């Protein structure tokens, strides 16, 4: 399957991607780099992130990795300030970082609950807060918050993750009119089961894939680049009328 859309509006645009070192985030960073955007990505996994930065730099993409723990809001703000200094005012934000660690509801403690919310939801708001002044000054901006199809299908064994991902669309709905007055668009993207390396390694059993094919309209698995290329459209000026929405890319699963 080949893709080749080029969005002229993304060339030289300063883009920030959280959780960009692996999985869907890695594809997002690469696809923006291919567009000629200036991309800064945050992650806490140094080895794969530095390898991605080196690989894309060899391709002459304008990509920079910054180690940022998004649960530390002051570190997040400092990372945004550094990205701004290196790549210019940020006019595209992709809030991608998350962790879908499985957990039993009976075992959840208040401390674990707070840690999961901080990891999967809270940082999205504070990243928005940190970049909006750049977008307001520019007179435009696009924010894409990565949600998940898990809250629509009611996935098992990760209730706090599912609640966080539902909250992300709530955040979009809560911010869209606030930001719309500044010509800043904000949307959510809800992927289905995307076959990242982590998904294949941890949960992609023959039995699970058989059930997926029963539930999903498209009779094939979905790849990270398919989500990344959808995000390119939402970040570009081609989607200028789209805000306050949840875009589902799940092969017809839900």
87-144 residue pLDDT tens: 999 999 999 998 877 668 888 899 989 999 999 999 999 999 999 999 999 999 999 9
Q: Structural domain tally of the chain?
A: 1
Q: Look at residues 35, 39, 98, 90 and name the one whose alpha carbon lies nearest to residue 66.
A: 39
Torsion region of 247: left, alpha or beta (phi above 0 gives left; psi -120 to 50 gives alpha): beta
Rounded to an integer, the average pLDDT of 25-41 is: 97
Is pLDDT of 1 > 70?
no
Is pLDDT of 199 > 70?
no
Domain harbouring 228, CATH code? 3.40.50.720
* Domain assignment of residue 201, yes or no: no
Give residue-wise pLDDT tens across range 137-153.
Answer: 999 999 999 998 665 67
Q: State the residue range of the domain holding 187.
A: 9-196+224-248
Q: Determine the Cα–Cα distance for residues 143 and 185; give it in Å rounded to an integer.
A: 6
Is pLDDT of 29 > 70?
yes
Q: List CB contacts of 160: < 8 A, sequence separation 6 or more.
A: 103, 108, 112, 113, 116, 117, 120
Q: Determine the Cα–Cα distance for residues 28 and 41; give it in Å rounded to an integer.
A: 10
Q: Determine the Cα–Cα distance for residues 232 and 10; give it in Å rounded to an integer.
A: 8
Integer CA distances (angstroms), 52 to 26, 62, 198, 211, in order:
8, 12, 16, 33
Q: Which of 7, 61, 112, 161 is catalytic?
A: 161
* Domain assignment of residue 205, yes or no: no
Quickly state the pLDDT bin for 156 (edges 50, 70, 90).
low
**Sequence-separated contacts (24+) of 170-175 with Cβ below 8 Å:** 171/121, 171/124, 171/125, 171/145, 172/145, 172/147, 172/244, 172/245, 172/246, 173/244, 175/128, 175/143
Is pLDDT of 250 > 90?
no
Burial readout 188-222 (b: 16 or more C-beta within 10 A, e: otherwise): bbbbbbbbbeebeeeeeeeeeeeebeeebeeeebb
pLDDT higher at 39 or 200:
39
* Domain assignment of residue 63, yes or no: yes
Give residue-wise pLDDT tens across range 45-91.
Answer: 999 999 999 999 999 999 999 999 999 999 999 999 999 999 999 99
Percent of the chain at pLDDT above 90?
A: 70
Task: Reply yes or no on whether 161 is catalytic.
Answer: yes
Average pLDDT along the chain? 91
pLDDT at 222: 83
69 close to 58: Cβ distance less than 8 angstroms:
no
* Domain assignment of residue 214, yes or no: no
Integer CA distances (angstroms), 191 to 177, 224, 251, in order:
24, 9, 9
**Whole-structure pTM value:** 0.91
Is pLDDT of 183 > 60?
yes
First to last CA, the chain: 23
* Domain assignment of residue 216, yes or no: no
* Domain assignment of residue 212, yes or no: no
pLDDT higher at 142 or 253:
142
């Amino acid at each position: 399957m080949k893709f080749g859309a080029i969005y002229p509006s993304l060339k030289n645009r300063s883009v920030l991607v959280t959780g960009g070192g692996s999985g869907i985030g890695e594809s997002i960073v690469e696809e923006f780099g291919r567009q000629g955007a200036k991309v800064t990505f945050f992650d806490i996994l140094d080895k794969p992130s530095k390898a991605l930065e080196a690989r894309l730099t060899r391709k002459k993409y304008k990509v920079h990795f910054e180690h940022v723990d998004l649960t530390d809001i002051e570190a997040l703000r400092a990372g945004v300030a550094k990205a701004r200094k290196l790549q210019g005012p940020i006019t595209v934000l992709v809030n991608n970082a998350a962790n879908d660690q499985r957990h039993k509801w009976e075992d959840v403690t208040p401390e674990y609950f707070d840690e999961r919310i901080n990891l999967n939801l809270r940082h999205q708001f504070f990243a928005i807060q940190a970049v909006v002044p750049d977008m307001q000054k520019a007179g435009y901006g696009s924010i894409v918050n990565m949600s998940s199809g898990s809250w629509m299908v009611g996935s098992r064994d990760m209730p706090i993750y599912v609640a966080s991902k539902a909250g992300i669309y709530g955040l979009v709905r809560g911010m869209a009119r606030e930001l719309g007055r500044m010509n800043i668009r904000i949307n959510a993207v809800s992927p289905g089961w995307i076959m990242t390396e982590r998904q294949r390694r941890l949960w992609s059993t023959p039995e699970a894939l058989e059930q997926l094919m029963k539930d999903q309209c498209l009779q094939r698995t979905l790849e990270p680049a398919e989500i990344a290329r959808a995000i390119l459209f939402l970040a570009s000026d081609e989607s200028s009328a789209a805000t306050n929405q949840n875009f589902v890319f799940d092969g017809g699963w839900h």
